[in-house]
Amino acid sequence: MPELSVIIPAYNNSRYLPECVHSVTKQSFPDVEVIIVDDASTDDTYDVARQLAANDPRITAIRHDHNAGTLAARRTGMEHSSGDFVMLIDQDDELADESLPALIAFAHSHPADIYHFGVRVSAATPAAQQAAPGMTGFLTPQPRELRGEDILRTQFAQEQGFDWHVHHKMYRGDLARKAYAMSANTRLLLSDDLYMCFILDSLAECYRAIPDSPWYIYHLGRGETLGQHMSVDSLSELAHRDAKALTLISDFVRNNHNTILRSDWDARLSDVRDRLIEHAMNEWQDNLAEPLKHDGLNHVLDCWPADAVCGELYRYTRDYAYAYLVTSDRTSTKALSDADNAKRYLDMAQSIERDHATAVSNSANERYHAMRAIAYQHLRDSGLDMPPSHRPSFVQRVLKRLIH
């Protein structure tokens, strides 16, 4: 039985697979098995995986008969693993040199179920270079120890939480295999990270985030259209995927609330719901071209309740109204833009509230009510909530600015 199992799900990306595998096998920690799970690639990925396995007995190549998604590929890898510890790596990423000896040494002296280490972002494109600092900050954990119910409570919290990727973490093997065995046998891409983090956190007794540990090399922008506008269809797929993850998490809680005893399941589900709709709506706001936003919003509403969507629209209203409130020059171009954006998102939220009046009026969504209340407070404080007949138009404000 190896001390560490490394699972690499692979699909149609043979170019970087050898680099990923060799970043594990070349280290001075030999007691490792590498399990490559090819999810029915249509290129030469499986051939490359078999060649890697032929050259190193520590490597195993497995192939799915049909494409089943990342969740299924990782689950297959877990079923075939036997290590005391388990780690997941994406096929186009790497481990830093000699990170494994350091990680295993830390684990020997600090027993835990989940070990969270840091990343080094390698940017492949100009857009990725711009995004790299923010991504590094998001993926670098705050050094700390969490125990019991605090693990799940903290991960998806609005403040002081930690990222929900399953990579750049190492797990106690038995716990990880149990978690994946409890997961749904269904197709899920990307959102499977958050889904599995919820299950892993629910089972774990101890989480440790390791200081000064940039051991996972995250290749940002490889094979992606980072920085480009998304389509309405892509947004719709993302929103459906995130909504499915919430449904699967709700199913997990319903099926296990009698065996995994905690009193805050409803609050934890609300946390996850808030993070998922926040993600979907940020993609809508940041990456969907302006002419497509109305259509895109309707697609999000097909997947998510009106109060959840309105909560995010009020979040944008809050932010723009506050920016206008605190500006020193309300006649500046930026201030005028902030004011118009606050009103624009307010109009969207109010329109959805009118169209879904019954559902919204009966909402128990605390985030929706909180964002709505703060948004209206900022609007009042900044004078942006005056009736439309008394609110100067954009043209009038520009003329006023020019006159003064």
Share the mean pLDDT of the chain: 94
Between 394 and 141, whose confidence is greater? 141
Category of 170 on φ-ψ map: left (φ > 0), alpha (ψ -120 to 50) or beta: beta
What is the per-residue pLDDT across 328-343, written as a single tens digit (0 to 9) for each? 999 999 999 999 999 9
One-letter amino acid at 74 equals R
Which pLDDT does position 397 carry in this prediction? Answer: 46
Percent of the chain with pLDDT over 70: 94
Contact 265, 205 (CB under 8 A): no
What is the per-residue pLDDT across 303-317, written as a single tens digit (0 to 9) for each? 999 999 999 999 999
Q: Which residues pair with 396 in a beta bridge?
A: none
What is the per-residue pLDDT across 167-218, written as a single tens digit (0 to 9) for each? 999 999 999 999 999 999 999 999 999 999 999 999 999 999 999 999 999 9
Binning pLDDT at 50, 70 and 90, where does residue 385 land? confident
The b-or-e profile of 386-402 (16+ CB within 10 A means b, else e) is eeeeeeeeeeebeeeee
Between 403 and 367, whose confidence is greater? 367
Quote the CA–CA distance of 6 and 214 in Å, as a whole number. 18
What is the per-residue pLDDT across 70-123, written as a single tens digit (0 to 9) for each? 999 999 999 999 999 999 999 999 999 999 999 999 999 999 999 999 999 999
Quote the CA–CA distance of 370 and 372 in Å, as a whole number. 5
- Other beta carbons less than 10 A from residue 225's beta carbon: 12
Percent of the chain with pLDDT over 90: 91
- DSSP per residue, 311-368: HHHHHHHHHHHHHHHH-S-TTSHHHHHHHHHHHHHHHHHHHHHHHTHHHHHT---HHH
One-letter amino acid at 50 equals R
- Other beta carbons less than 10 A from residue 215's beta carbon: 21
Which pLDDT does position 401 carry in this prediction? Answer: 47
Binning pLDDT at 50, 70 and 90, where does residue 252 land? very high
Beta-sheet pairing, 169-172 with 114-123: antiparallel
pLDDT (average), residues 52-61: 98
Which pLDDT does position 123 carry in this prediction? Answer: 94
Give the residue from 10, 104, 88 showing the smallest Cα distance to 51.
Answer: 10
Give the residue from 172, 180, 144, 165 showing the smallest Cα distance to 216.
Answer: 165
- Other beta carbons less than 10 A from residue 286's beta carbon: 9
pLDDT (average), residues 34-39: 98
Candidate from 6-10, 135-139, 196-200 with smallest mean pLDDT: 135-139
Which pLDDT does position 272 carry in this prediction? Answer: 98
Residue in the block written with tokens 């697979």: 17
Which pLDDT does position 222 carry in this prediction? Answer: 83
Which pLDDT does position 127 carry in this prediction? Answer: 87
- Decide if pLDDT at 403 tops 50: no
